[in-house]
Structure 1
Amino acid sequence: MSLPAAFLAATARLIPEERRFDDPLSTLAFGTDASFYRLIPQLVIRVESEREVIELLKLAGAHRVPVTFRAAGTSLSGQAISDSVLIVLGDNWNGREIRAGGAQIRLQPGVIGASANAVLAPLQRKIGPDPASIAAAKIGGIVANNSSGMCCGTAQNSYHTLAGLRLVLADGTLVDTEDSASVTAFRASHAGLLAQLAELGRQTRANTELAAKIRHKYRLKNTTGLSLNALVDFDEPLDILSHLMVGSEGTLSFISAVTYHTVPEHPHKASALLVFPDVESCCRAVPVLRQQPVSAVELLDRRSLRSVQDKPGMPEWVKSLSNGACALLIESRAASASVLAEQIERIMASIAEFPLEKRVDFSSDPAVYNQLWKMRKDTFPAVGAVRATGTTVIIEDVTFPVEALAEGVNRLLELLDRHGYFEAIIFGHALEGNLHFVFTQGFDDPAQVARYDAFMGEVAQLVAVEFGGALKAEHGTGRNMAPFVELEWGSEAYRLMWAIKRLLDPQGILNPDVILSEDRELHLKNLKPLPAADAIVDKCIECGFCEPVCPSRGLTLTPRQRIVIWRDIQARKRAGIDTRELEAAYQHHGLDTCAATGLCAQRCPVGINTGELVRKLRGQQAQHSGTADWLAGHFATALKGARLGLLAADSARRLLGAPRLARWAAGLHQQFGTPLWTPAMPQPVQPLKWIAPAPSDKPRVVYLPACVSRAMGPAFADAEQTSLLDKTRALLEKAGFEVIFPAELDNLCCGQPFTSKGYAQQGDAKRDELLAALLSASRNGQDPIYCDTSPCTLRLVQGNADQRLRLYDPVKFIREELLDRLEITPQEAPVAVHVTCSTQHLGEAEHLIEIARRCAKTVVIPEGIHCCGFAGDKGFTTPELNAHALRSLKDAVQICEEGISTSRTCEIGLSTHSGIDYHSLVYLLDRVSRPHH
């Protein structure tokens, strides 16, 4: 049913056009969350204020239009999708306020969970919920789903650590439980609603059988249905109301802010892995460990261990475990090393009588600790990565009473085998009896859907009826378990949930069919296709973990959305449907505005680099191979042309003045797409004049200035007027090195400019030519090679098969070769640090920050800026990507007079959008250092 014209007209008056989306590309992109369901919204609205939410809910109520709220879209049960109006959070929901020295934190719903913890980390505190998606999931979703995780259990989830809520009800009423004026006004305007909530609470508590059932259900990890424990845990109606919102999945209100009681983040931690000979002995150890000072106990069945045993970095012994083996990964945390040691002793003594097949003792060594947790965290993606193309990977999470855990695991394994899910694995949070089982499922024919239906029906009977457990422990009910809520809870509790829903959302406009549905086959409808698109991205599980690091997120598409649209285009083509309109929109949204830096691959559970797909598609469009061949063969001429272009731009600046030139260039860019000039545009660098030195006993370093360093000098207004080439050379000589340059330097290039434009063949040829020149210059690898720009270094490192070459980016060379040769006096002036994408890929991010902290007493790392979006030359040709990626930079670096980075092109965009000059790290190091004497 289409949306009412009056609603659309009123919405258009309220929300600017650039934040309303109804085109096929945008609605499809937003119609996807991490679940295996898909609904295409008719209208997507990006909201930026509470007032907008209030007015939209009033309009929705007046016109009976269903609405669904969306935070990060990492939910797994279909609760963040809609075929009506989807309301997504914009940029302005990122507020946070630390209270009582860190004992509490007030958060808006757009704050990413990991960001909240980063703010609390210096105070050794954190929020209680710790979902696996915490680096992508937002607070709004974490509260609305009552998400938990490995260490959270039930005691530290949102329900039990809630200190206050600010929410907007379905009728548009705002209430803040921490604001006395708001509470007083709400008690006056909604006295009837509060009285009915109080009465529901009284009736529930008086019904001893129902109250006992509710208490039992929430002794377990349980997110099936609405949070009925609010009715037995509280008698004050406002407390009942606020706790009902936790886990309500957007079906009762919009959560505008939450205040958490924080929990300790103990600095000392150690982990052990104990492998038991069978499931029974493994599960019998869990109640014993429950009595010990453990923060996490993760169960891994033999299949899950087998799924990761061949991965790089896994210990060999995993392969030799018996078929019935079952492991527990145990973590203990403490405020001090001595207390941690005592705890470990207690833990091991408690299970000393249990037979073990293999034991990895408690360790705080990062190498051991990280390997154990990698084993656990790689299980889910391991199944996702080996599934057949076109199938989806499903992760379900159930809770068995801990005392029945062994039988529950074995019965679940039997069920999976009986229904043919032989690739399925089981792991989970054993302390809570919470098991995740992961399997792959096709939905492309009725027989597959019927198999899934039969399996889920038996799972529901086994878990909810036979064992009295929970069908959803932490992933939320969503659409997936909505048909089974009554089976688990019984008709009396189920009627109570409907009474709450109708009291708070009488028109049924908030996320209909989520949690509560009258459709008993809802879980089998609107199943999401995952059609083959390209081998590079076919393993994508559409989880959304990639999205926070994408510079085009909120401008055009995210990596997940790029894959969603490309999958759809390919499926339509195979079906003979005209895709020209969709492909035309994809050109800008999918290809032109992708930075293609591959940060998404670092966050992706299955390692997908969406930038690779984009580069491949650009390559298919590339029409100028001849030009690329000529440029590759005459690179020195091309470099001379670049210098002349910069000289012409600088001459125009002198003639017209910077403000007039900037206006003129902006107009030309808008009209003709010419490169954008800004005051941060570099001046040209004079070609290098260098004569090979006479032999000496100084250590040699081959210095490779990137082509941008050979062409681009400082901007005209920069306080630093020495080129990067000269500054680097001087610093290396200050540290006692003899600096060597490769022969025919101006002809050399790593090939990145060619590859990023889709000319991979020319790019690879230039890279190989450069590697050969570096081998010669370094005397067959005797001398280290210093490249002054991290993107070029990364390209060379990734393409270098010759083990003789020792390639260094600025960060690695400085920390390994220069710091010990220099005496550093840190400066008082604060500096901002931008960690480039390539620095992150090279594994040098933390080292860059450490070096900056040695050089300056105050270092600012702007939150939420993972990639600057300049992407080689996109800052000139697609400047909106750079501007969007750095939209929060200026506010973040206000106290700084300088920023540092390791990429000259990135520094142009950073300087443009920050209001301060950004330079290479070597400028800062040179300024604060002198040679050791």
Structure 2
Amino acid sequence: MLESKYQKFFDEISTKISKEKIFTDKLHTLAYGTDASFYRLIPKVVIKTDNAQEVQNIIELANNMNLSITFRAGGTSLSGQAISDSILVITSRNFSNFKIASDASFISLQPALTGAQANGLLARYSKKIGPDPASINAAMIGGIAANNASGMCCGVSQNSYKTLKSMKLIFADGTKLDTGDENSKNKFRKTHKDFLEDLKSFSNETKSNEELREKIEKKFKIKNTCGYSINALIDFEDEFEILQHLIIGSEGTLAFIEEITYYTVEDLKDKASALIYFKDMNEACHAVTKLKLARDSKQIIVDAVELMDRAALKSIENDPAMPIFIKDFDDEVTALLIETRALNDEKLNIQINEIEQLLKEFSVERDIYFTKDEQEYNLYWKIRKGLFPAVGAVRVTGTTVIIEDVAYPIEVLAEATLELQGLFQKYGYTEAIIFGHALDGNFHFVFTQDFSDEKEVKRYDDLMNEVVNSVALKYQGSLKAEHGTGRNMAAFIEVEWGKTAYDMMKKIKNLFDPKSLLNPGVIINDDKEAHLKNLKTLPATNEIVDKCIECGFCEPTCPSNEITLTPRQRIVINREISRLESIGNTKEAKEYKELYQYDGIETCATCSLCSSACPVKIDTGSLTKHLRAEQLTSSSKNIANFVANNFSTTLAGVRFGLHSSNFIHKVLGTSNMQKFTKSLRSFSKNKTPKWSAYMPKAININISFEQKDSDKKVVYFPSCISRTMGLNSASKEEKELFDITVELLQKAGYQIIFPQNLSNLCCGMPFSSKGFNDASHTKSSQLEEALLNASEFGEYPILCDTSPCTKKMMESFSHKLSIYEPIDFALTFLKNDLEFTPIDEAITIHTTCSSRKMGLEDKFKKLALMCSTNVIIPSDVKCCGFAGDRGFNFPELNDSALRYLKTQTDGAKMAFSTSKTCEIGLSEHSGLDYNSIFYLVNQVTKAKSL
């Protein structure tokens, strides 16, 4: 039951915002209330907002009722600034409009676009936004601006503060302001005259205080997000410039960012990176200092320098992508990852040479080697970005990963960093690693911590107090360089800044938020032990996901991220269930399980794309399959085994169902069929499958056809889907996929071999996705044996026409066979066997989850470009959410995953993929007829002349 004041708030706000977007139950408040930090508060009310009007309604009502609110975007923040025990306002992924200037000199972004999406929009103009946090793929613009998040290249010259053009804001009293609109500003001048006068007086007071002004100038020469951006008070004269720059880094404590307009920066395409190994930390830090001074004096051009100490290198040395020689390094070796960018290759070569010459005096363990290979240097940076989560993966289960974030003046970098390493040894944090943006003197240090033991908490507190004194007092650095103050460093702001500056920050908070309702406890917090309270534990739940540190990197890839739960949130709930069971609270654990069934299990696509975004490859889809298997009854397992053992009969039943459905469709027509099936589904409470106008027709294939003998042989395994599901009734194609594949192979000169007993063969995926592991193993083993025999134990390549089935075969088979799906087969064989003549007609492609996980995304694009000069690839469509039969039984998953498809495929005339079930949903949501890429390959190729 909600407290009366929150119940009243709920009752009133639900008259303005759909109840479907307001959550007060224990599952959603816990799941949505979790961020990447090591703190936990559980909100009373969570609201997903789609637009500024909804946010304004919430703020006005909360202000009238004196209820505190916290704003949250992507939830990748690390310092406890995106959690609440009151009202949590989440910017839904629909809060994502944008506008690009005609010359691309600036871009206006709503808060829910990720940094990566913003850069994707700007890529065609060779532009990007300045901020580049490691979490850019998951972090949303609202959070990036509110935390003044920076990263590896932007430093202090291209962060949000320096590249801000204007903002649309909503204040604590509900007032809206557009700092880029003169009418809005004039109106604000009238309604908030005293506010602006006070702000101006704060600025004058700060400018006239010589000691404070000098301190601000010095401290903001390096990265600093500890406290408010009070450099705004001395950097600007105009009140609105002061105002909007104070919002940067304010962590939702001063106003809500409805929209931000950034000046864009050049995205130079010619770049090179080098991973350089120095003999020790001292040598590496002195090299950084020399690089920094040389860059500042315009002697060299270096865009980023990332440091990784030996412990950091050890955490990633077993990654297959890392050079094997790293394992042999001494314990003192320290690496610098250096990147330089240029307008063209000639200038790039000059810059590389200048950097190499500058570093000649330093002792390195390996020769300096700069790579221009995009795949190679992207790998370096991907590994660097994944360091924080990678450390979490090797922690003791149940412990928490702490990441701190400091910056030092460059002239004391070596001395300060060595002292920091000494503090780790003093307090027994021997596993701690140091890495970060060395060119800006900005280091992250990561260690693991047990918050369930009071002695361990005391050890943590002692360490942090010494770190604070060392960084803030001895070396005059920043306690927070880019992760924001949050709750983590709120108690230490006065230590770093002194009383005068801290009092000014309090005055700023009181001016913007006199009732202290916006994100209370963040930045301004008089509790000197705030950093030790509301600590989050990470209890064990299942070894599949126990290494998760809840960073949220997985969330943008998940097809259910806007309708139910994300992979991170699924793990959060499972951890809570396990925690409750461990203390004997089975009643509450059962309540969570019941709530979790739909949100966690039934609407999980098990596509496992989360593992591709996760730095440590955690596969929450596998967890869902495991949970589904646990729920199976003996009778359901018996039915699955019966189906597996009588598979040809089962497929005959599927064909009958498809035939009946299409017959009724033909009689009733599309409109009446939709009404009829919608009513039937409603009557059955969604127990009957959804019908689609793009439902395929039933087919039978004929493997008896005339062939010529050939030295080139291929084993063709048509999946059970392509053996039963044909073209939809609206398709203009005349031939089925099986016939197209045969025609294509014969044109390329292949003799086709089919496995024996084809009608009974299946890869096992329909069973494994539902948890029927025994039945899945049976079918997989049968197929493996058949393909072994057909391929003469691997002598011939094996082609499967469906990507998900191909991946399942690769994962399940014990023998090493040469198995290909359409994309890889076309590029490996057909590219050499046939002549390609690309068409000019615009096409679009969809890379299935399986293809992505097999590393075929870029290859699919390459193949598409061989077939067409105009290829459209929707940027915000990953997993389609159809997930085998989920698209029939839980169509809302497919609807959510493909909500951007139609607009992002605008202009395409033909559409292609590599999975029939995916193509059903893709066709429905785009209005295009999606078919296998083999249709296009067959269209644009001819046999090579002898």
Instruction: Give TM-score, length-normalised by structure 1.
Output: 0.98
**Which residue pairs with 2:566 in the alignment?**
558
For 1:923 and 1:571, locate their aligned partners in 2 and report how far apart those are by CA, in whole Å: 52
SS of residue in 1 equivalent to 2:369:
strand
1:665 aligns with 2:667: no
Match of 1:126 among 122, 125, 128: 128
- Asked if the contact 1:556/1:589 (under 8 Å) is kept, the reply is yes
Alignment-mate amino acid for residue 603 of structure 1 = A
SS of residue in 2 equivalent to 1:101:
coil
1:767 aligns with 2:780: yes
For 2:728 and 2:56, locate their aligned partners in 1 and report how far apart those are by CA, in whole Å: 47
SS of residue in 1 equivalent to 2:841:
coil
- Asked if the contact 1:391/1:440 (under 8 Å) is kept, the reply is yes
For 1:118 and 1:653, locate their aligned partners in 2 and report how far apart those are by CA, in whole Å: 41
- Asked if the contact 1:688/1:710 (under 8 Å) is kept, the reply is no
SS of residue in 2 equivalent to 1:571:
helix
1:374/1:358 CA distance change after superposition, 3 Å? farther
5 Å-filtered alignment, 1:171-570, equals 171-290=173-292, 291=294, 292-366=300-374, 368-370=376-378, 372-570=380-578
Match of 1:54 among 38, 53, 56: 56
For 2:802 and 2:374, locate their aligned partners in 1 and report how far apart those are by CA, in whole Å: 30
**Which residue pairs with 1:644 in the alignment?**
656
SS of residue in 2 equivalent to 1:870:
coil
Q: How many residues matched?
A: 931
Give the deviation of 1:825 after TM superposition.
3.2
Give the deviation of 1:817 after TM superposition.
1.1
Listed as ranges, the gaps of 5+ residues in structure 1 are none
Give the deviation of 1:848 after TM superposition.
1.0
For 2:360 and 2:92, locate their aligned partners in 1 and report how far apart those are by CA, in whole Å: 53
- Asked if the contact 1:706/1:792 (under 8 Å) is kept, the reply is yes
Give the deviation of 1:657 after TM superposition.
2.4
Match of 2:143 among 141, 144, 150: 141
Q: Which runs of 4+ in 1 moved over 4 A?
A: 691-694
For 2:5 and 2:617, locate their aligned partners in 1 and report how far apart those are by CA, in whole Å: 40
- Asked if the contact 2:226/2:478 (under 8 Å) is kept, the reply is yes
1:674 aligns with 2:676: no
Q: What are the superposed Cα offsets for residues 263-290 of structure 1, whole Å, 9 maximum, x if unpaired?
A: 1111111112322222222211112111
Alignment-mate amino acid for residue 745 of structure 1 = L
- Asked if the contact 1:793/1:807 (under 8 Å) is kept, the reply is yes
For 1:834 and 1:341, locate their aligned partners in 2 and report how far apart those are by CA, in whole Å: 38
1:790 aligns with 2:803: yes
**Which residue pairs with 1:587 in the alignment?**
597
For 2:546 and 2:878, locate their aligned partners in 1 and report how far apart those are by CA, in whole Å: 25
SS of residue in 1 equivalent to 2:14:
helix
For 1:317 and 1:496, locate their aligned partners in 2 and report how far apart those are by CA, in whole Å: 53
1:533/1:807 CA distance change after superposition, 3 Å? same
Q: What are the superposed Cα offsets for residues 240-261 of structure 1, whole Å, 9 maximum, x if unpaired?
A: 0010010000000011111111
SS of residue in 2 equivalent to 1:359:
coil
- Asked if the contact 2:6/2:44 (under 8 Å) is kept, the reply is no
Match of 2:725 among 712, 717, 724: 712
SS of residue in 2 equivalent to 1:287:
helix
1:367/1:17 CA distance change after superposition, 3 Å? closer
For 1:650 and 1:397, locate their aligned partners in 2 and report how far apart those are by CA, in whole Å: 61
Alignment-mate amino acid for residue 198 of structure 2 = Q
Listed as ranges, the gaps of 5+ residues in structure 2 are 295-299
Match of 1:913 among 910, 925, 929: 925
Give the deviation of 1:691 after TM superposition.
5.3
SS of residue in 1 equivalent to 2:768:
helix
Alignment-mate amino acid for residue 326 of structure 1 = T
The two structures, once aligned, show a CA RMSD in angstroms of 1.5
**Which residue pairs with 1:754 in the alignment?**
767
1:143/1:2 CA distance change after superposition, 3 Å? farther
**Which shows bigger deviation, 576-585 or 249-258?**
576-585
- Asked if the contact 1:3/1:42 (under 8 Å) is kept, the reply is no
Give the deviation of 1:76 after TM superposition.
0.4
**Which residue pairs with 2:885 in the alignment?**
873
Match of 1:923 among 920, 927, 935: 935
- Asked if the contact 2:606/2:624 (under 8 Å) is kept, the reply is yes
Give the deviation of 1:158 after TM superposition.
0.4
For 1:366 and 1:918, locate their aligned partners in 2 and report how far apart those are by CA, in whole Å: 31
- Asked if the contact 2:27/2:573 (under 8 Å) is kept, the reply is yes
For 2:134 and 2:697, locate their aligned partners in 1 and report how far apart those are by CA, in whole Å: 47
Give the deviation of 1:670 after TM superposition.
2.8
Give the deviation of 1:170 after TM superposition.
1.1
**Which residue pairs with 1:740 in the alignment?**
753
**Which shows bigger deviation, 697-706 or 163-172?**
697-706
**Which shows bigger deviation, 606-615 or 382-391?**
382-391
Alignment-mate amino acid for residue 690 of structure 2 = L
Give the deviation of 1:465 after TM superposition.
1.1
For 2:554 and 2:383, locate their aligned partners in 1 and report how far apart those are by CA, in whole Å: 21
SS of residue in 1 equivalent to 2:227:
coil
1:567/1:425 CA distance change after superposition, 3 Å? same
1:844 aligns with 2:852: no
Give the deviation of 1:4 after TM superposition.
4.4
**Which residue pairs with 2:814 in the alignment?**
801
Match of 1:621 among 628, 631, 635: 631
1:459/1:3 CA distance change after superposition, 3 Å? farther
Match of 2:645 among 612, 617, 633: 633
For 1:421 and 1:107, locate their aligned partners in 2 and report how far apart those are by CA, in whole Å: 42
For 1:388 and 1:743, locate their aligned partners in 2 and report how far apart those are by CA, in whole Å: 50
Alignment-mate amino acid for residue 588 of structure 1 = Y
Q: What are the superposed Cα offsets for residues 84-105 of structure 1, whole Å, 9 maximum, x if unpaired?
A: 1111112432112221422211
Alignment-mate amino acid for residue 593 of structure 1 = T
Identical aligned pairs, as a percentage?
Answer: 48
For 1:356 and 1:534, locate their aligned partners in 2 and report how far apart those are by CA, in whole Å: 43
For 1:892 and 1:353, locate their aligned partners in 2 and report how far apart those are by CA, in whole Å: 52
Q: What are the superposed Cα offsets for residues 725-753 of structure 1, whole Å, 9 maximum, x if unpaired?
A: 11111122122222221111111000000
For 1:758 and 1:373, locate their aligned partners in 2 and report how far apart those are by CA, in whole Å: 37
**Which residue pairs with 1:21 in the alignment?**
23
1:375/1:646 CA distance change after superposition, 3 Å? closer
SS of residue in 2 equivalent to 1:330:
strand
- Asked if the contact 1:305/1:375 (under 8 Å) is kept, the reply is no
**Which shows bigger deviation, 63-72 or 923-932?**
923-932
Alignment-mate amino acid for residue 311 of structure 2 = R
**Which shows bigger deviation, 793-802 or 823-832?**
823-832
Q: What are the superposed Cα offsets for residues 664-722 of structure 1, whole Å, 9 maximum, x if unpaired?
A: 2222223331122111111101243425846x235111111110000001111211242
For 1:843 and 1:697, locate their aligned partners in 2 and report how far apart those are by CA, in whole Å: 31
SS of residue in 2 equivalent to 1:541:
coil
For 1:888 and 1:285, locate their aligned partners in 2 and report how far apart those are by CA, in whole Å: 47
SS of residue in 1 equivalent to 2:465:
helix
SS of residue in 2 equivalent to 1:626:
helix
**Which shows bigger deviation, 894-903 or 531-540?**
894-903
For 2:102 and 2:891, locate their aligned partners in 1 and report how far apart those are by CA, in whole Å: 43
Alignment-mate amino acid for residue 583 of structure 1 = K
For 2:55 and 2:618, locate their aligned partners in 1 and report how far apart those are by CA, in whole Å: 35
**Which residue pairs with 2:297 in the alignment?**
none
- Asked if the contact 2:305/2:338 (under 8 Å) is kept, the reply is yes
Instruction: Give TM-score, length-normalised by structure 2.
Output: 0.97
SS of residue in 2 equivalent to 1:132:
coil
Alignment-mate amino acid for residue 106 of structure 1 = S
